[in-house]
Each structure stands twice: as structure tokens, then as C-alpha cells.
Amino acid sequence: MAELNLQAQELNETIKRCNAAVHELLSEKGKAIFFPAKGILAQTAEAKGKEINATIGMALEDDSSPLRLSTIARHIDLDPKETFPYAPSFGKPELRTKWKEMIYKKNPSLAGKQISLPIVTNALTHGLSMLGYMFVDEADRIILPDLFWGNYRLIFVNAYGAVLDTFPFFKKGRLDIDSFEQKMKQGPVGKRIVLLNFPNNPSGYTPTDEEARQIRDVLKAAAEAGNKVVVFIDDAYFGLVYEEGIYKESLFGELADLHENLLAIKVDGATKEDYVWGFRTGFLTYAIKDGSKELYAALEAKTAGAVRGNISNAPHLSQSLVLKSLDSPEYDAEKKQKYELLKKRFEIVKGILAKHKEYAECLEALPFNSGYFMCVRLKGLQAEDVRQTLLAKYSTGVIAIGDILRIAFSSTPTDKLEKLFSNIYNACHDHAG
């Protein structure tokens, strides 16, 4: 491999000095990456505020506002400077600060714990890909439940050559903590990459309060045994928990200062939390026991370097719009209203399954308590066959995964939920007969 750039070497030395375990967790790409604080970017920064600034790779009007087309600008009720220029590769500073404040607000268990300033990504898929860049080498194992978002294969296997090493998600209607613990103990002491997604896609399950503590304890034991552990916490559906006794915070709070050998990384965003799927605004936030500002600054610089080398920066317009929403006095009330709609649909689905005992003849609902989805496991039937029948005969679409159907109650109108499950039952009977 080519000799590392001096700026990468400096960041690596900082990380090693602050926490050697974090340096060991970095991939070869992660060790090599840096944010180019010198060169063109530095020269551009030095010219900021000068009477004549001919450094910027943008076009400006004669009044120094961004050059723009009125056919676009007239549809956007924002200052052009909040819309058209490039955003920093680190993300819009005001948004990063606001999102960090909200992480603390939404996760009271983080009180007193030090975390990094979030780096803005082009939503969660891009954020996860940047974690692959930073921490995953070819043939590295990624430990995760056997019910997982299919896009993880493209992100980590196809792009970085990782191996998805799964454990059974459920056992007797609860999380299979024993299988998770056994998986963490497999192989020699060394690097462990863990990927946890709650509320889970596809199952719609979030751990109970007790299960969250058990997950924490398994991870702590692995770190205490000498393993260097990095945990990717995919919080795409954060906040959408509908039952009491279910862990309502992010596991990030439990792991933020758990052990010096365990680096927790929160992957989240406005995508589903704030219902702006097309905005592509996500965040990466780091935490580790005794994490210093110096350590976090080095990780932020490497992450911003990876973003710059991949997409340059996330869209400025989306970041500005999200920030406007977060700062709005109506934000909390609007969030609660949309949450209540999804919770109502969740409760209706629970009621349908409780009322129609006959459905148990051909399907079994997997545990669910949160998020956008729930799953049913079919009895003696192929999910793809049933899915095709639902499309052809019942004008109904669901997702088939082996012998499981994933059902998005989030996108099903409330008054059609009863019909949705009736159609699934009838399609199953068409095949069972």
C-alpha cells in the first residue's frame, strides 16, 4: 500500500494517543483517509471575506449572491445562500450542533457523557457505507441478527467484501440473547464489528428494557475480554416505539461510555424520524468511554474526508430545510401527531390479529412493537407464491423474504388494514387448498 499522506498520519497518531483500540478498529482505508485541511480548501478558507475571492468553485452574481435560475429559485422560500452553495463536507455547522442537542434531549441516559459532533451524510445508506469505508476490511465479519435490511448486503458485502455473520433474532417470542452472546465469543480475541438496528427492519421489533440491558452486558463482556468492538447502531426508525416496557432510547446511550475497547457509532437521520425520505439527510455520531474532544475531532475529520472523497458533501437545501423544521415552535406537536397516526395503525394491526384467530391456521405474527413494519411467518407455504397471488388476484403488495411476508402498516391507509390482512389470509388459503 502507498505511503500514507502526512495528514492521515497525523490523525492516526492523534487517535492512537487518545485510544489505541479505536486505531486498531480502523480499516486500511480508514487509516489512510483524511480531510484535506491543507491545499485548495485551506487556500479557499484563507480568502474568505476578502474583497476579491477568486478561489471558489461556484458561480456568483455581481452582488456576490449565488448565481441561480429563477425557474428553480422562485420555488424555494429560503435565502439563496442557504440553498445553492456547497455545504461543508462535515455538514452545515448549525444543523450539526442542533442534531447533537437533540440526541441528548431524546436520550436522557446520555446526560454527562461526551459524544462527537455529528457528521452529516447523504442519509443512512450513505452513512453506513462511510462506516464500511472507515472500519470494514475485506473478509471482516459483521455480527447482526438474521432478520436484517437487505441493503446491508450491497453496502457491506458488495462494496467492502465483508461477511454478514448472523445469529437467530428470536427464540420463543423474545430476543435470542444467548445466540448473540455465543456469536460474540466465536473465534479468537480480536476485532468485532456489530450491527444493530432497532426498531428492526423487517420485523418491527425493539428490545424490552431488560433485553437492552442484556445486549449492553454482552457487548461489555466482549470488550472486557480484550476484543476491540465497534457497534454500528442503525437508528433509522428511532422514536417509533408503541408499547410500554420497550426500550425507548437509542442503544447508543447505553454504549456511549461502556468500555475503552468499545466504539459506539449512531447512524440516524431525518429520513424517517422527520418523514423526509427524499431529503437524504443523515448523521454519524461517535462515542467511547473517556472519549476526548481531540479523539472525536480526529474521527470527524476522517469521516468528513471519506464523505468528501465519495460525494463531496450532502445537499445544502435539505440540511437548511431540516434545520428550519427542528427550530420551529410547531415541530414537537407535528411530530407527536404523525407518531399517533402510526401508533394507531400499529394498534389496529394488533387488534386484527387478536380478533381473527383463524389467521393462525396459515400464518404466525413475529413479535413486533415499533417502527414501520411487522412480519408474518407462513406455515407450509412459500412467501413468494403468496405474494404473487396477492398481486394478481387481490391487488395487494407485500414483501416476501423466504417464508416471511413483511407488511408495511406505515404506508397502508388506516381504513384498509383490515382488508390487507383478509387478503393475505385468503391468498394463503388459495395455496393451502
Q: Which band of pLDDT confidence, cut at 50, 70 and 90, is reported for residue 1?
A: low
Report domain extents, the chain.
6-35+89-326, 331-432
Give the three cell numbers for residue 353.
390479529
CB 364 within 8 A of CB 377: yes
Question: Which of 257, 282, 278, 259 shows the shortest CA–CA distance to 270?
Answer: 282
Q: What fold characterizes domain 6-35+89-326? A: Aspartate Aminotransferase; domain 2 (3.40.640)
What is the mean pLDDT of the segment spanning 355-378?
Answer: 97
Q: Phi and psi at residue 36, in whole multiples of 5°? A: -70, 80
Task: Specify the DSSP element, H or E, that contains 365.
Answer: strand 363-365
pLDDT above 80 (res 319): yes
Instruction: Render pLDDT for 264-309 as a digit per residue (tens, 0 to 9).
Output: 999 999 999 999 999 999 999 999 999 999 999 999 999 999 999 9
**CB under 8 Å to 160, separation ≥6 — which residues?**
27, 132, 133, 136, 137, 138, 140
Question: Which of 206, 231, 202 shows the shortest CA–CA distance to 218?
Answer: 231
Give the three cell numbers for residue 176.
435470542
* Sheet arrangement for strand 191-197: 119-121, 282-287, 262-269, 228-234, 191-197, 141-145, 163-167
Strands (E) in 210-345, as ranges, are 228-234, 262-269, 282-287
Q: What is the pLDDT of residue 38?
A: 78
Strands (E) in 89-212, as ranges, are 119-121, 141-145, 163-167, 170-171, 174-175, 191-197
What is the mean pLDDT of the segment spanning 112-124?
Answer: 98
Q: What is the pLDDT of residue 129?
A: 98
Mean pLDDT of the chain: 96
CATH number of 331-432: 3.90.1150.10
Instruction: Render pLDDT for 167-223 as a digit per residue (tens, 0 to 9).
Output: 999 999 999 999 999 999 999 999 999 999 999 999 999 999 999 999 999 999 999
The structure's pTM equals: 0.96
Count other C-beta atoms under 10 Å from residue 98's C-beta.
Answer: 16
Rounded Cα distance between 116 and 299, Å, is: 9
Question: Which of 118, 83, 114 shows the shortest CA–CA distance to 99?
Answer: 118
Task: Note the residue count of the chain.
Answer: 433
**CB under 8 Å to 71, separation ≥6 — which residues?**
none
Q: What is the pLDDT of residue 49?
A: 83
CB 149 within 8 A of CB 318: no
Give the three cell numbers for residue 413.
391507509
Q: What is the pLDDT of residue 54?
A: 84
Q: Which band of pLDDT confidence, cut at 50, 70 and 90, is reported for residue 40?
A: confident
CB 430 within 8 A of CB 393: yes
Q: What is the pLDDT of residue 433?
A: 63
- Per DSSP, helices labelled H in 70-176 are 70-73, 93-106, 123-135, 151-152, 159-160
Instruction: Render pLDDT for 326-345 as a digit per residue (tens, 0 to 9).
Output: 999 999 999 999 999 999 99
